[in-house]
């Protein structure tokens, strides 16, 4: 039911295809984030129209509400949410580790207080896998410990050891053949710990590997160096997923270092906050200079928003507090991200990725926050 094949490379960048029980995914791929089983301000139809192939949902949030048992009883996440394409669920680890004032960690797992009602909860590798099996996503994640940044080396080293042990328990607990369970490499910004984590996980023979614990505040040169360190170590025949990254420029730089899959809340969150991603940089639609601007957000974009709405209209909707503002700007931001990934895939197949990379980054730098940049 599953397969992954790389069809072309250009330097370290690669394009290929993931085959899943719910359809194919062309890589490199970006997954819109549907935390509670829905991508904010987007219907399934909107996601399809924007070009989404696969979405991400959150184990922690769905476990608490409506409950993974409820989702299972109603046919799993695909039926429950009406999305027929591939889905990835994270392990819930990042969310509970971010609740530093509400949780305690030991070898068994994590004990924490629900952010909804303060009720006591326990999440272990076995429970995380149980929840994800109930949700029924195509790709699920091993439970890991994600240390903060910055963190002392000894704390990161302990998290690497625990991540390996929890990966072994996650592997043992997983019993669904219609899911791919991915391992997560930790190690902070310490190259030797990253290499150790990867080499400890590879013998577990996960069908794919994620790089976790980045995009948590570390400098971008450190992130890029970590990816360069892992590129020759992670199995080339298996997909690689960089968790929680990032901006369009982050994505293109990570593709250049061998990454196949991405997710991030930025395109949806920034849309709700009035910031649009364009081929000439970010557009802060709240600014007064757009009050009479009749142009679309990005004249180079063919999304529904750019075909039908002016900057002036979007600014008006945003300042008026209209929900339509979030909808239209989310459609644009996700369309821009997904179209960017499509262009990346095409450039790799044609052997022109480095040219696209140079031109794309140069355009962003030249036009950042420039309303007259087009």
Grouped pLDDT means (10 residues each) for the chain, 374 residues: 97 98 98 97 98 97 97 98 98 81 89 91 96 98 94 97 98 98 98 98 98 95 98 98 96 98 98 97 97 97 98 98 98 98 98 98 77 60
Q: What pLDDT does residue 99 have?
A: 75
Q: What pLDDT does residue 368 have?
A: 56
Q: What pLDDT does residue 94 have?
A: 83
Q: Which amino acids are annotated catalytic?
A: 90, 263
Burial state string for 141-158 with b = 16 or more CB within 10 A and e = fewer than 16: bbbbbbbebebeeeebbe
Domain 3-264 belongs to what architecture? Alpha-Beta Barrel (3.20)
CATH 3.20.20.105 in the chain: give the residue spans.
Answer: 3-264
- What tens digit of pLDDT does each residue of 174-188 get? 999 999 999 999 999
Q: Is the pTM of this model over 0.75?
A: yes
Q: What is the Cα–Cα distance from 49 to 300, expressed in whole angstroms?
A: 17
105, 71 contact by CB (below 8 A): no
Q: What pLDDT does residue 101 have?
A: 78
- Burial of 259 (C-beta count, 10 Å sphere; 0-12/13-18/19+): buried
Q: What pLDDT does residue 199 have?
A: 98
């Amino acid at each position: 039911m599953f397969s992954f094949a790389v069809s072309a490379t250009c330097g370290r960048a690669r394009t290929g295809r993931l085959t899943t029980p719910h359809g194919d995914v062309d890589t490199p791929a970006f997954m819109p984030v549907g935390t509670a089983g829905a991508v904010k301000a987007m219907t399934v139809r909107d996601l399809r129209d924007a070009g989404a192939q696969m979405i991400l949902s959150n184990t922690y949030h769905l476990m608490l509400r409506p409950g993974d048992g409820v989702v299972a009883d109603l046919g799993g996440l695909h039926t429950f949410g009406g999305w027929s394409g591939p889905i990835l669920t994270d392990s819930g680890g990042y969310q509970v580790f971010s609740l530093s004032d509400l949780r305690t960690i030991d070898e068994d797992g994590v004990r924490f207080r629900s952010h909804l009602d303060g009720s006591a909860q326990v999440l272990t590798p076995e429970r995380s896998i149980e929840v994800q099996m109930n949700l029924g996503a195509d790709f699920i994640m091993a439970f890991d410990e994600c240390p903060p940044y910055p963190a002392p080396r000894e704390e990161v080293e302990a998290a690497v050891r625990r991540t390996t042990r929890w990966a072994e328990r996650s592997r043992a607990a997983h019993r669904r053949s219609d899911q791919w369970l991915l391992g997560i490499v930790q190690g902070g910004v310490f190259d030797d710990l990253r290499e150790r984590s990867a080499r400890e996980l590879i013998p577990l023979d996960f069908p794919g590997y994620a790089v976790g614990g980045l995009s948590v505040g570390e400098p971008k040169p450190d992130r890029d160096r970590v990816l360069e360190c892992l590129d020759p170590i992670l199995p080339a025949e298996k997909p690689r997923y960089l968790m929680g990254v990032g901006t369009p420029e982050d994505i293109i730089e990570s593709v250049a270092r061998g990454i196949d899959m991405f997710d991030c809340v930025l395109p949806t969150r920034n849309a709700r906050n009035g910031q649009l991603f364009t081929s000439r940089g970010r557009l802060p639609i709240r600014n007064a200079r757009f009050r009479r601007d009749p142009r679309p957000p990005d004249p180079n974009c063919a999304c529904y928003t750019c075909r039908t709405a002016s900057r002036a209209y979007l600014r008006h909707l945003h300042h008026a507090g209209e929900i339509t503002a979030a909808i239209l700007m989310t459609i644009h931001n996700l369309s821009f991200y997904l179209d960017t990934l499509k262009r990346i895939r095409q450039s790799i197949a044609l052997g022109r990725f480095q040219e696209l990379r140079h031109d794309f980054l140069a355009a962003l730098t030249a036009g950042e926050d420039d309303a007259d940049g087009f």
